[in-house]
Amino acid sequence: MSVVFLFGAGASFGNPDCHPFPPPLGRDVLDALRASGGIAATIGGDLAKRFAENFEAGMLGFFETRPAEVIPFLREMAQFFVQFEPGPANFCRVLADAAERCRSAVVFATTNYDLLIEHAICQAGARVTYTARPVPKNNFSVLKLHGSCNFLPDLGTSSIRGIGFIVPEGSSILEAPVRIAASAREVLEFCRREDAIAPAIAVYMRDKPVLFCKSFVQAQQTAFANEVRLARKTFVIGLRCNPDDQHIWSTLARAPGWLGYVGKEHELFTDWCTKERRKGGSVVADTFENALPIIKRVLAAA
């Protein structure tokens, strides 16, 4: 029996034992970024209000009004999200420990840019492979549906510097292989050195456009869709139900296996299940913590 876990920002928010603090929810990301200065500190007025009300709406407004600053802003976001690490009591670490005995049957997927699940897996004594199963022995499959702060465009011996890009909505800039950064320091050095490109993370607005290494991120989404179609059980943890994200919710609507939702916005999920006539959809718990005993029982039977 295969089990897929799909995490959203709510799986990280409020998650204990996280250094230097738990990653914020979307509505609070801009304020958190301001503490580091940079472009985020220059966003104010009505645009800042849009970010606070809905990060995707704020990012769309930023994309439309300050397009030349989108790429530097992506670098700032990568530098921010790479800093987070779980401790032994963090729920991601607890889950990684519980999944260790059946890792060949488990897939972790996330829309988050941070590396909490990767750190948790490594702390549990396993390794990470960014592909669908099967994966090498002692590895977990991890799929980053909106890219990751450690997905660095690999230009080999070439470089792109001293160029500014203004990209129409829906377009991408650079297609290149991805180099997985081995450390937070490597990500920080990349973001401080480069002035024309950014890690392969989606612009968090409608349609989640990926400006760099788009095909690599699309391959992550395709692998996720394949794994969900094969999974007997899928848990969605801390991810707001947003049918506009068709690469996620259309896939979940068509999947034949059981679907469990963990989060405080469960009414959106149940309404979606009704509209999509999605059988086998259940609300598991309102928080990651309260869902863990149920998840552990499922993993014990896997």
The domains of the chain, with CATH numbers, are: 3-16+85-148+216-301 (3.40.50.1220), 25-84+153-201 (no CATH)
Q: Tell which residue, 132, 112, 273, 274, has the closest CA to residue 208.
A: 112
Query: And the tokens for 195?
Result: 């002035």
Instruction: Find out whether the peptide bond into 20 is cis, omega within 30 degrees of 0.
Output: yes
Please report how the helices 70-81 and 55-65 are oriented relative to each other, as an axis angle in degrees rounded to 10: 140
At 81, the pLDDT band (50, 70, 90 cuts) reads very high
H/E run at residue 237: strand 233-237
| Residue reference for tokens 């989640």 | 208
| Residue reference for tokens 């792109």 | 160
* pLDDT confidence of residue 133: 96
Instruction: Find out whether the peptide bond into 134 is cis, omega within 30 degrees of 0.
Output: yes
Do 93 and 59 contact (CB within 8 A), yes or no? no
Query: For residue 18, what are the β-bridge partners?
Result: 86
* pLDDT confidence of residue 25: 87
* pLDDT tens digits along 279-297: 999 999 999 999 999 999 9
Residue 200, CA distances (Å) to 40, 73, 186 in order? 19, 13, 14
- Percent of the chain at pLDDT > 70 equals 100
